[in-house]
Structure formats: structure tokens, C-alpha cells
């Protein structure tokens, strides 16, 4: 049963922390997981990178893959089918005002609490937005293990390098606070906007978890008042206000690039967190404007250019491909 809190005397939010190196405390991996992404034809180039980044890892070559098809072209579906993808066409899972004005791609947001209905027969479901790509497999492993430990595994947007914990807080709190207020009112918005925002772009939930119903109930209610980031806002309310227990993974498992540019480790040839100790990033999430920027000035770690910035793409490229690009002046909105 879901535990609802009141403002007076409410319990602390049940957001647990997973430390990547403490493997002796991990739950077992699911036996038959599926990774799911989705979108329309306009998102295909990003989706292609997302899928390729999964398939070029030995652990991901044969993992079940599901696609929520919100309007892909025939050639795009053929490419995904060649990667072993299964397809489902999302329906409108909720009735809500203004639905007729929403795009077909919006169905990929409202379908998320119903993924077992679209792709039955799996014991765990890992959703990854099409504008994400996988650099290191540890992120997938942690999400799936987290889904065994708690009803849902998520990666809150909290890291010492993120800009919104310094000078960008007014911008961050204004945007997210407005979304909270539209869906749930001022009192709850003013309280929850100060919690680490749970990013709904990557998550994992076991098949029989209470998280599906808990998220669906809050999302269905929120959609009656707003369609502004409502899937993500509803998930935050389900965890921080309605008692849904969540396993909190490090931000290296879902790195929102607009919060902080990664650094590039020249010896290991991978993106790392920009601050010491420069741990590798598992999933890079090309949030907001970063998905369309050709290059960013990326600080190099090690080698002859140590500490200097070089223009590089942060999109997926095949292993060994050159990341150097012409500079894009003023690309990062610091």
C-alpha cells in the first residue's frame, strides 16, 4: 500500500544511496531484463546513437531491446529491427485536458508507467531516453541492481560540479518550480523544488514493483492540470511526497550535460566527471540544448594538453572514432 504523507510530521523521503564500489551489498542482477527507448522520426538520429552505444558493448549485444514507435519512418524501423529491436506503438494511457494538442511523441512520456503492458514477459524494465548514450556498462548494471533492491532505481541530479548548485540555482528553481506549481500547487512546489531533482530520462523498475501504480496514479492526477514536464514532476512527487521508495544512483549513471560539461580522459579515452577524482561517466544525457550543439570546449585530463580545452562532440561516436570538431563559440550556457 502506498504511504501518503502530510506536511506536519511527515517522514523523511525514502531516497536511498548506492555507492558504485561496494559490490558486496548489491542485489542480484535480473534474469530477463529489457532496455526500452522511444521517439519519433525527428529523434531517430539520437535514438540511433543510443541503440548503437548499447549494442557495441559485449554485455548489450544480445539484451532485449524495445522501441516505443511514436512515428518512425520505414527505413528507421528497418535499421532498428536489424539491431534486434521489438516495437510497440504507444496509445494514450490517460485522458486529460489538452491531449489533442500534444504530439504523438508525448505518448512516450505518458506510457512510461505502463512499460510491462507494452513489452510483457520481462522481470525488469530499464528506460533510457533517446537523447542518452551509454559510455560504460556499469550504469546499466547499477540501474538493474537498484531495481532489485528498491521499487525504482533513479539518478537524482545532484553532483558537486553541477551549475545549478551554484550560480544557476535561480534559473533551475524557476523552471522546475513553475512545473511543480502548475501540476501540484505552490505549497508543494516550494518544498520539493529544493530536493535533488529525479531525472526521469533513465530509470529501472522490476516487473512486479509497486512503482508502476504509484507513478501512474500521480501522473494521471497531474495531467489534469499540466503537461509541463509532468512525467518527471509526477515521479518526484511519488518519491518525495507519496512515499515511493527509490534507490538513488550517482549522477555518473545519468549525466545531464547542460548541468556540467564532462572532461575527457586522454589515457582512458572516455568522458569523466570534470572534478576530481574524474570518475568515468556511465550514461551521457544530451539534455535541453546540448543535443543540437556540434561541439563543446572539453577540458583534457592528462597528455600534452592536460588542463586545456579542445572542441569535441559529446554525442555518441563509434569506438575509436575521432571526437575532434570545429569550435562552436559560446556553446555552453554557463
Q: Is the pLDDT of residue 224 over 70?
A: yes
Query: pLDDT, tens digit, for every residue of 60-105?
Result: 999 999 999 999 999 999 999 999 999 999 999 999 999 999 999 9
Residue 166 shares a structural domain with residue 236: yes
Q: Is the pLDDT of residue 286 over 80?
A: yes
Query: pLDDT, tens digit, for every residue of 306-328?
Result: 999 999 999 999 999 999 999 99
Cβ-count burial of 276 within 10 angstroms (0-12 exposed, 13-18 middle, 19+ buried)?
exposed
Residue 205 lies in a domain: yes
Percent of the chain at pLDDT > 70 equals 92
Q: What is the pLDDT of residue 24?
A: 34
Residue 4 lies in a domain: no
pLDDT: which is higher, 6 or 324 = 324
pTM: 0.91
Q: Is the pLDDT of residue 23 over 70?
A: no
Percent of the chain at pLDDT > 90 equals 87
Residue 7 lies in a domain: no
3-state secondary structure string, the chain? CCCCCCCCCCCCCCEEECCCCCHHHCCCCCCCEEEEEEECHHHHHHHHHHHHHHHCCHHHCCCEEEEEECCCCHHHHHHHHHCCEEEECCCCCCCCCCHHHCCHHHHHHHCHHHHHHHCCCCCEEEEECCCEEECCCHHHHHHHHHHHHCCEEEEECCCCCCHHHCCCHHHHHHHHHHHHHHHHCHHHHHHHCCCCCEEEEEEEEECCCCHHHHHHHHHHHHCCCCCCCHHHHHHHHHHHCCCCCEEECCHHHCEECCCCCCEEECCCCEEECCCCCCCECCEEECCHHHHCCCCEEEEEECCCCCCCEEEECCCCCCCCCCCECCCCCCCCCC
Number of domains in the chain: 2
Residue 160 shares a structural domain with residue 219: yes
Rounded average pLDDT over 213-218: 98
Residue 271 shares a structural domain with residue 209: no
Q: What is the pLDDT of residue 77?
A: 98
Q: Is the pLDDT of residue 10 over 60?
A: no
Residue 23 lies in a domain: no
Residue 227 shares a structural domain with residue 107: yes
Tell me the residue range of the domain where 292 lies. 255-312
Local confidence band at 5 (pLDDT 50, 70, 90 cut-offs): very low
Residue 57 shares a structural domain with residue 165: yes
Residue 11 lies in a domain: no
Task: Give the mean pLDDT of the chain.
Answer: 92
* Total Cβ atoms within 10 A of residue 246: 25
Residue 139 shares a structural domain with residue 117: yes
Q: What is the pLDDT of residue 22?
A: 37
- Residue ending a domain, among 252, 271, 288, is 252
Q: Is the pLDDT of residue 143 over 80?
A: yes
Q: What is the pLDDT of residue 159?
A: 97
Residue 317 lies in a domain: no
Rounded average pLDDT over 116-144: 98
Residue 207 shares a structural domain with residue 218: yes
Q: Is the pLDDT of residue 124 over 90?
A: yes
Residue 191 shares a structural domain with residue 298: no
Q: What is the pLDDT of residue 290?
A: 97
Residue 75 shares a structural domain with residue 125: yes
Residue 54 shares a structural domain with residue 95: yes
Residue 333 lies in a domain: no
Please report, for the domain that includes residue 221, its CATH number: 3.90.550.10
Q: What is the pLDDT of residue 80?
A: 98
**Looking up cell 558493448, which residue turns up?**
57
* CB-CB contact of 296 with 284 (8 Å): no
Query: pLDDT, tens digit, for every residue of 27-48?
Result: 667 789 999 999 999 999 999 9
Residue 183 shares a structural domain with residue 38: yes
Query: pLDDT, tens digit, for every residue of 262-279?
Result: 999 999 999 999 999 999
Q: What is the pLDDT of residue 334?
A: 73
Q: What is the pLDDT of residue 15?
A: 60
Residue 35 lies in a domain: yes
Q: What is the pLDDT of residue 1?
A: 30
Residue 247 shares a structural domain with residue 264: no
pLDDT: which is higher, 12 or 220 = 220
Rounded average pLDDT over 144-151: 98
Amino acid at each position: 500500500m502506498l504511504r501518503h504523507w502530510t506536511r506536519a510530521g511527515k517522514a523523511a523521503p525514502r531516497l536511498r544511496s548506492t555507492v558504485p564500489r561496494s559490490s558486496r551489498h548489491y542485489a542480484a542482477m535480473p534474469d530477463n531484463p529489457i532496455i526500452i527507448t522511444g521517439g519519433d522520426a525527428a529523434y531517430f538520429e539520437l535514438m540511433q546513437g543510443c541503440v548503437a552505444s548499447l549494442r557495441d558493448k559485449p554485455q548489450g549485444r544480445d539484451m532485449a531491446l524495445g522501441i516505443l514507435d511514436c512515428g518512425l519512418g520505414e527505413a528507421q524501423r528497418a535499421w532498428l529491427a536489424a539491431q534486434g529491436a521489438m516495437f510497440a506503438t504507444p496509445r494514450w494511457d490517460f485522458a486529460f485536458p489538452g491531449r489533442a494538442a500534444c504530439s504523438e511523441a508525448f505518448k512516450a512520456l505518458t506510457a512510461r508507467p505502463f512499460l510491462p503492458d507494452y513489452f510483457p514477459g520481462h522481470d525488469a524494465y530499464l528506460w533510457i531516453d533517446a537523447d542518452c548514450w551509454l559510455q560504460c556498462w556499469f550504469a546499466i548494471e547499477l540501474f538493474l541492481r537498484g531495481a532489485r533492491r528498491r521499487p525504482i532505481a533513479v539518478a537524482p541530479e545532484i553532483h558537486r560540479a553541477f551549475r545549478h548548485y551554484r550560480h544557476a540555482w535561480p534559473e533551475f528553481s524557476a523552471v522546475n518550480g513553475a512545473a511543480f506549481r502548475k501540476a501540484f500547487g505552490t505549497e508543494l512546489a516550494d518544498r520539493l523544488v529544493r530536493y535533488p531533482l529525479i531525472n526521469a530520462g533513465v530509470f529501472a523498475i522490476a516487473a512486479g514493483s509497486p512503482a508502476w501504480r504509484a507513478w501512474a496514479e500521480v501522473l494521471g492526477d497531474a495531467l489534469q492540470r499540466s503537461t509541463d514536464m509532468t512525467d518527471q514532476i509526477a515521479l518526484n512527487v511519488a518519491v518525495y511526497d507519496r512515499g515511493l521508495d527509490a534507490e538513488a544512483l550517482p549522477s555518473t549513471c545519468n549525466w545531464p550535460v547542460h548541468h556540467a560539461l564532462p572532461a575527457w580522459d586522454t589515457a582512458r579515452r572516455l568522458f569523466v566527471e570534470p572534478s576530481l577524482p574524474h570518475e568515468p561517466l556511465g550514461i551521457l544525457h544530451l539534455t535541453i540544448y546540448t543535443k543540437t550543439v556540434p561541439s563543446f570546449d572539453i577540458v583534457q585530463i592528462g597528455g600534452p594538453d592536460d588542463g586545456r580545452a579542445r572542441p569535441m562532440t559529446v554525442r555518441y561516436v563509434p569506438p575509436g572514432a575521432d571526437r575532434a570538431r570545429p569550435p562552436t563559440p559560446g556553446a555552453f550556457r554557463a
